C-alpha cells in the first residue's frame, strides 16, 4: 500500500529518534532492504500475498520463499547486518540490547513479507553459540553467524511446554557417545534446518543440572536416528512448524554445547534473548499497523466523509499509539538497564533483571495484540480478509503470546521474583525462582 501523503512527515517515524551512533548501521539496513529484499518481495508477490501459493502441496513453506529468505540472510551476513546482536569475537556486530531495538524496529517496520530474514531469528545465530567449543566454530558457528545456514531449536514436547521438568527426551551415555531418544513438537524451521540445537535430560533429578544441549548437522543424521515428522498448520499459516524424532540416535561427545549439565542455564539465557527480541519486533510491526490504519481512515469514505472524522475511530488510533509508545518506552528503559552492567548474555543474571525481561515480553506481546486487534477493526471487512498484511499481523500477534514462554509463565516469574512463591510442587521438581522462565 503506498502512502497517499508522502510529502507530509510521518509523525510516528519522527518519534523513533535513533541515536546518532547508529546512523551508519541504519543506513546499511535501509540499503539492504532496498537492494536485496524489496526486489525479491516484488518478484514473489504472487506467493507472498496468497496463502495457497505461500505453501507447497504438503502444506510446507514453498521452496521459492525458502530460497529467497536464504538469499536475503546471506546478503545480510555479507553486509554485516544479520548478526549485529552477537559479540564481535563471534563475527557479530557487538550491539547491545538498546541499539538492537532501533535496528529491529526498522527491519520489522518494513512489514511482514521477506524483511524479517534480514536479521538472525531465534533459531538462527542465537547467543547459545557463545557456549560452542572451538571444534564447533567452523562447521556450525561461522555459517550461522554469516546467515549461510539455519538451525532449529528443539525444546518443547507435546507433553512438556511451560515446564522444562516435564521433558521426556533423554540422552544417556554409551561409551564415549550419547544416545538420544525422544520427540520434540511445535518446532520452528523443522523441515529446512541445516543444524539442530536440542535440549535433553541427561541427569534426571538433578534440578537445573539435569539438562544438556546438543548440536548436530541434520542432514548427516537424517534417517540415521534423526527423523522429521508432520507439519503443524498454525493459525498464521507459516508452513514451517513441525515435529522431530530421535530414535536412539548416537551422537559423539563433541555434539555437546557448553558442558553436560549446563543446558538449563543456556536455555534460560536464550529464552531471555527471544523475549528481549519482542521489543523491536512488536514496535516495528505496531508502527507499521498504525501507519496503515492512519492512511486507511484518512481516505476511506463512509457516509460521505473520511472514516477518521469519527471520534470513535480517532480514539482507536489514539489507543494504538498509546500502546505502541508505552511498550516501546518500557523496552528501551529495560534494555538500557540490562546493557549498563555489561553484555546481557554473561551469566548469572540478577533476578530483578529476569523480572524486567519478563515484563518486557508481556508488555510487548499484549500491546501489539491490542494494536493489531484495533487495526483489524478499523479496516472492517477488508481487515478480516485473509492474505492481507493486517490480517496476517493480527494472527501473528495472537500467536506471540504463546512461544518464548507464555505470558502467564512470565507473570509467574515476575510474581516469584517479587517474593510470591507458594507452591514447591511435590510431583515435579521446581526450578529456582526466576528460572522457571523456562520455555522457548
Ligand X SMILES: Cc1cc2nc3c(=O)[nH]c(=O)nc-3n(C[C@H](O)[C@H](O)[C@H](O)COP(=O)(O)OP(=O)(O)OC[C@H]3O[C@@H](n4cnc5c(N)ncnc54)[C@H](O)[C@@H]3O)c2cc1C
Residues of this chain that bind ligand X (CB under 6 A): 123, 153-156, 161-162, 186-188, 234, 241, 399, 402-403, 405-406, 408-409, 412, 439-440
Shortest Cβ distance from residue 253 to ligand X (Å)?
24
DSSP 166-187: G---EEEEETTEEEEEEEEEEE
Separation of alpha carbons 256 and 203, rounded Å: 14
Closer of 103 and 200 to ligand X (Cβ): 200
Shortest Cβ distance from residue 11 to ligand X (Å)?
33
Which residue lies nearest ligand X, judged by its C-beta?
A: 161
Helix (H, G, I), strand (E, B) or coil at 337: helix
What does DSSP assign to residue 8? S
Helix (H, G, I), strand (E, B) or coil at 290: helix
Closer of 356 and 439 to ligand X (Cβ): 439
Closer of 33 and 369 to ligand X (Cβ): 369
Closer of 257 and 293 to ligand X (Cβ): 257
Shortest Cβ distance from residue 245 to ligand X (Å)?
14
Shortest Cβ distance from residue 290 to ligand X (Å)?
25
Separation of alpha carbons 334 and 356, rounded Å: 6
Separation of alpha carbons 429 and 210, rounded Å: 11
Separation of alpha carbons 347 and 335, rounded Å: 16
Q: Residue 315: exposed, middle, or buried by beta-carbon count in 10 A (0-12, 13-18, 19+)?
A: exposed
Shortest Cβ distance from residue 165 to ligand X (Å)?
12
What does DSSP assign to residue 87? -
Shortest Cβ distance from residue 230 to ligand X (Å)?
14
Closer of 26 and 232 to ligand X (Cβ): 232
Parallel, antiparallel or unpaired: strands 301-302 and 305-306: antiparallel
Closer of 137 and 162 to ligand X (Cβ): 162
Shortest Cβ distance from residue 164 to ligand X (Å)?
10
Closer of 228 and 378 to ligand X (Cβ): 228
Give the C-alpha distances (Å, rounded to integers) separating 13 from 105, 303, 321, 330, 392: 11, 31, 12, 18, 22
Amino acid at each position: 500500500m503506498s502512502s497517499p501523503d508522502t510529502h507530509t512527515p510521518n509523525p510516528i517515524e519522527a518519534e523513533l529518534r535513533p541515536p546518532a551512533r547508529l546512523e551508519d548501521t541504519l543506513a546499511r539496513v535501509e540499503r539492504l532492504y532496498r537492494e536485496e529484499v524489496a526486489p525479491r518481495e516484488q518478484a514473489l508477490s504472487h506467493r507472498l500475498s496468497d496463502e495457497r501459493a505461500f505453501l507447497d502441496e504438503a502444506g510446507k513453506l514453498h521452496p521459492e520463499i525458502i530460497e529467497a529468505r536464504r538469499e536475503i540472510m546471506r546478503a545480510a551476513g555479507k553486509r554485516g547486518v544479520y548478526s549485529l546482536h552477537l559479540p564481535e569475537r563471534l563475527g557479530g556486530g557487538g550491539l547491545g540490547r538498546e541499539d538492537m531495538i532501533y535496528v529491529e524496529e526498522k527491519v520489522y517496520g518494513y512489514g511482514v513479507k521477506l524483511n524479517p530474514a534480514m536479521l538472525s531469528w531465534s533459531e538462527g545465530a542465537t547467543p547459545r553459540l557463545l557456549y560452542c567449543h572451538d571444534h564447533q566454530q567452523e562447521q556450525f558457528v561461522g555459517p550461522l553467524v554469516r546467515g549461510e545456514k539455519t538451525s532449529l531449536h528443539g525444546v518443547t514436547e507435546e507433553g512438556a511446554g511451560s515446564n522444562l521438568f516435564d521433558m521426556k527426551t533423554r540422552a544417556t551415555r554409551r561409551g564415549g557417545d550419547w544416545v538420544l531418544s525422544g520427540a520434540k513438537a511445535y518446532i520452528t524451521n523443522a523441515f529446512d534446518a541445516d543444524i539442530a540445537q536440542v535440549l535433553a535430560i541427561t541427569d534426571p533429578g538433578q534440578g537445573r543440572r539435569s539438562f544438556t544441549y546438543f548440536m548436530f548437522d541434520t542432514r548427516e543424521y537424517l534417517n540415521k536416528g534423526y527423523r522429521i515428522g508432520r507439519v503443524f498448520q498454525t493459525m498464521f499459516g507459516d508452513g514451517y512448524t513441525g515435529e522431530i524424532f530421535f530414535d536412539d540416535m548416537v551422537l559423539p561427545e563433541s555434539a555437546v554445547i557448553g558442558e553436560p549439565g549446563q543446558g538449563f542455564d543456556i536455555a534460560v539465557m536464550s529464552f531471555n534473548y527471544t523475549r528481549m527480541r519482542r521489543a523491536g519486533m512488536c514496535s516495528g510491526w505496531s508502527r507499521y499497523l498504525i501507519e496503515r490504519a492512519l492512511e486507511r481512515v484518512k481516505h476511506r469514505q463512509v457516509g460521505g466523509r473520511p472514516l477518521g472524522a469519527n471520534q470513535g475511530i480517532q480514539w482507536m488510533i489514539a489507543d494504538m499509539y498509546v500502546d505502541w509508545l508505552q511498550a516501546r518506552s518500557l523496552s528501551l528503559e529495560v534494555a538500557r538497564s540490562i546493557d549498563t552492567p555489561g553484555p546481557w548474555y554473561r551469566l548469572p543474571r540478577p533476578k530483578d533483571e529476569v523480572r524486567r525481561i519478563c515484563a518486557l515480553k508481556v508488555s510487548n506481546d499484549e500491546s501489539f495484540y491490542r494494536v493489531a486487534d484495533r487495526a483489524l477493526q478499523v479496516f472492517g471487512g477488508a481487515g478480516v480478509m485473509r492474505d492481507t498484511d493486517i490480517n496476517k499481523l493480527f494472527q501473528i500477534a495472537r500467536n506471540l503470546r504463546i512461544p518464548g514462554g507464555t505470558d502467564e509463565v512470565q507473570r509467574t516469574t515476575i510474581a516469584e521474583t517479587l517474593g510470591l512463591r507458594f507452591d514447591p510442587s511435590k510431583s515435579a521438581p521446581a526450578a529456582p525462582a526466576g528460572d522457571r522462565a523456562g520455555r522457548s
